[in-house]
Amino acid sequence: MKKNLFAILLLVLAAIIATGSVTVLGPCVHEDGSKGPCADAGRALLIDGCVTAVLAILIMLLKRRGVRLVLFAAALCAAVIGILLPGVLMPLCKMDTMHCRAVMQPSMIILSGAAAVSALIGIITERSRKA
């Protein structure tokens, strides 16, 4: 259980990112039902959260230290992409008061940052663990 602690935390954060990106933390929906430019960013965050969740599950299932180290590194990369997706890699609405800029962007940056920290600590603990 102790060696899977950061993988479990990573899985929980990835699940929140994936579900949040299509629910309350998701992109704007305009009054007429149309979607803004941020809808693609929301879908990309959903995919990023699912990829991170799969990596976390693999970390929990596999026991080899080297493989777990590589999976944690891949999860770190996915988390950094999750930080950069809303607003940097993918456009958001232009107004700062829109839901995507006021809610989605900061919450996804915080959640992905926490996932990155969890993956980084996972890398450190895997490296210090005896083979």
Alpha helix ranges (H) inside 4-128: 5-20, 39-61, 65-84, 99, 105-128
Q: What percent of the chain lies above the pLDDT cut of 70?
A: 98
Q: What is the dihedral of CA 88, 56, 119, 100, to 10 degrees?
A: 30
Amino acid at 55: L
> How much is the average pLDDT of 70-95?
94
Q: What percent of the chain lies above the pLDDT cut of 90?
A: 71
Question: Any idea which residue has 């299932």 for tokens?
Answer: 61
Q: Give pTM, 2 decimals.
A: 0.91
Q: Is the dihedral of CA 120, 51, 21, 102 positive or negative?
A: positive
Strand partners, 86: 90
Domain regions of the chain by residue span: 2-22+36-128
Q: Please say whether the beta carbons of 19 and 11 come within 8 A.
A: no
Q: Give the pLDDT band (50/70/90) at residue 10.
A: very high
> How much is the average pLDDT of 28-51?
88
